Amino acid sequence: MIKDLGDDLRAKLKNKELFTKFKKKLKRVTYNEHSEQPSHLPENYKLYVKPTQEVKYLKSQCTGRKRALLIGINYFHTQYELKGCINDVKNIKKFLIDYCNFKESDITVLTDDQDDPSKKPTKEHMLEGMRALVADAQQHDSYFLHFSGHGGQRVDLDGDEADGYDETIMPLDFKTNGEIIDDEMHNILVDGLPAGCRLTVVFDSCHSGTVLDLPYVYSTHGKVKESKLSSSFEDKRIRRKNLETKSSPADVIMFSGCKDEQTSADASENGAATGAMSHALITTLKHDSTQTYQSLLNNIRDFLRDRYSQKPQLSASHPMDMNEVFKI
């Protein structure tokens, strides 16, 4: 397939006419632009077709079970200490209960101010919490994951990052047990979800733009963004691979505090420490709960623009209609 062509093979096909014929032949094998939607699929089941790619997905009605995992780490008494992450969790929890019909009994909280050792946000507990969040997932369930804490980057080892770096989050014990990388979170949270199950994710951390490895990243204009790095043949190959392997039939949406190359700010609002992104999201949704995805992204950006350089991102596991109303 054309996606498997490397620089060495491309170099051998120096004859432009031969290369063009070869590429067209492969496209005929891998893509039929007149493919019909299978008749056995539900009426609201979408089929999104691109060259070498078909993404089947079902939007969630968010009418089933609701569950949430909220993680906030202040890293007390270390050189990495933050101020507002635990407050973020408290604010998000109240918002989910008061505005989104979540029950307190269905919300798991991991913060480093709790006395119960099982509630500490260690790497083991965070991964266990993620698995439990999506366990026995069903169509039209709605799950919510929030993380406030440190994020980072490390060298990509499996060739799925155009910039050469995986994005990570830092558990409380990251110095001894390591970071959690985007590939692992995608495997746990996204890969096993059934069609029509909603997972809404918020990462208020540095370098979090694509920390869940969702392949569709949207601009404030409602269009899928093309990476500035995607001009080379190899980068386009990586993007095609990610569209094919990391799309999902589930309904996964992520808001992140900044681009991959940016940092997310600690803030002070009404005298209390908080994450800038978390505060902007809650404030914007409280003001208007019927915003479209595009409006919500723009309003969050506008809320932060005058005081912070970070640019929150919106990504998804499937193609989105950004004019639809956001819901959890």
Q: Are 328 and 142 spatial neighbours (Cβ–Cβ below 8 Å)?
A: yes
Return d(Cα 44, Cα 23) in angstroms, integer: 34
Active site residue 206: yes
The Cα 197–Cα 251 span in angstroms is 6
Catalytic residue among 150, 186, 279, 318: 150
Strand boundaries in the chain, DSSP class E: 45-50, 53-58, 66-72, 107-111, 142-148, 151-155, 165-169, 180-181, 198-204, 216-218, 251-256, 266-269, 272-275, 313-316
The catalytically annotated residue of 62, 85, 197, 206 is 206
User: Within a 10 A sphere around the Cβ of 269, how many other Cβ atoms?
Assistant: 17
- Specify whether the CB–CB gap between 216 and 319 falls below 8 A: yes
Residue 230: how many CB atoms within 10 A of its CB?
14
Maximum C-alpha span of the chain: 70
User: Which amino acid is located at 164 in the chain?
Assistant: G
Nearest to 313 by CA among 222, 239, 226, 208: 208
Q: What is the DSSP string of 237-253?
A: HHHHHHHHHH--SSEEE
Q: Is 40 a catalytic residue?
A: no
Q: Is 36 exposed, middle or buried (0-12, 13-18, 19+ CB in 10 A)?
A: exposed
Torsion angles phi and psi, residue 204, rounded to 5: -105, 80
Return the residue matching tokens 């600690």: 266
Catalytic residues: 150, 206
